[in-house]
């Protein structure tokens, strides 16, 4: 099982992102998706050995659709030019922190955490950091972690978030809008015989970060927007 054909399909799609071209090459898409799905399904049981909270077993539960929702976007192209999968407790739509794989020529990365957490979850994460910033800093300042994930992904608030003291010494840790991390990888990464091992090693380094976040997710009451 290889990802070469999937890689080439995404390159061609990037330069032919129309419904007419896609429908004409639907067989190629289905084959490319099948190869990516198989790659993810082979990875899931190995990742479960590192993180027992993961309760999914199929690619269907983790892989995102290639069809874009362009209704509210300036970019009206109908298809994404990547395959993506989010492996976590509850799968791709879960509020829990998980592991993300983004397969896209010249723009691939792996990582995870929680992207765009709902307000109750975001507040719970910030509260957890506020109450035990030393534990959180120990995770994100770990040498191996910072080598792979030098920063928390995405924009941050300019001011202290509502409900937290402005003079809190670690206030910058609470300003993130997302608690996610990414590690960029080059094209050759996908065609190495150790690709799966290298992904798992990266996710192993990320495990404590996810674990910290998921304790905060579990603290959200159902009435507040949790599961």
Q: Bigger pLDDT: 47 or 226?
A: 47
* Structural domain contains residue 53: yes
The Cα 174–Cα 59 span in angstroms is 33
Would the pLDDT of 225 be above 70?
Answer: no
Condensed to tens digits (0 to 9), the pLDDT of residues 109-165 reads 999 999 999 999 999 999 999 999 999 999 999 999 999 999 999 999 999 999 999
Quickly count helices (H) and strands (E) in the chain. 7, 4
Interval 6-23 mean pLDDT? 97
> Residue 155 is part of a domain; what is its CATH number?
3.30.930
8 A C-beta contact, residue 78 and residue 70: yes
Condensed to tens digits (0 to 9), the pLDDT of residues 63-112 reads 999 999 877 777 889 999 999 999 999 999 999 999 999 999 999 999 99
pLDDT of residue 224: 53
* Structural domain contains residue 216: yes
Token representation of residue 28: 């190629």
* Structural domain contains residue 100: yes
* Structural domain contains residue 227: no
How many C-alpha atoms does 104 have within 13 Å on its Cβ side? 18
* Structural domain contains residue 84: yes
What's the domain range around 96?
4-222
Reported as a pLDDT band with limits 50, 70 and 90, residue 227 is very low
How many domains, in total, are found in the chain? Answer: 1
């Amino acid at each position: 099982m290889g990802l070469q054909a999937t890689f080439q399909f995404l390159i061609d799609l990037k330069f032919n992102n129309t419904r007419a071209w896609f429908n004409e090459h639907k067989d190629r898409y289905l084959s490319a998706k099948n190869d990516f799905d198989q790659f993810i399904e082979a990875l899931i049981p190995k990742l479960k050995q590192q993180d027992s909270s993961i309760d999914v077993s199929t690619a269907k539960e983790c892989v995102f659709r290639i069809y874009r929702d362009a209704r509210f976007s300036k970019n009206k192209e109908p298809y994404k030019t990547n395959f993506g999968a989010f492996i976590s407790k509850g799968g791709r739509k879960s509020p829990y922190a998980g592991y993300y794989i983004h397969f896209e020529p010249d723009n691939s990365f792996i990582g995870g955490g929680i992207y765009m957490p709902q307000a109750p979850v975001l507040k719970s994460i910030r509260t957890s950091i506020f109450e035990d910033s030393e534990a959180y800093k120990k995770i994100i300042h770990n040498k191996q972690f910072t080598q792979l994930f030098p920063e928390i992904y995405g924009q941050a608030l300019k001011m202290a978030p509502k409900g937290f003291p402005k003079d809190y010494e670690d206030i910058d840790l609470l300003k993130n809008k997302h608690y996610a991390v990414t590690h960029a990888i080059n094209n050759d990464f996908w065609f190495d015989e150790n690709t799966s091992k290298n992904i798992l090693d990266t996710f192993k380094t990320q495990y404590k970060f996810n674990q910290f976040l998921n304790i905060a997710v579990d603290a959200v009451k159902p009435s507040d927007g949790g599961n």
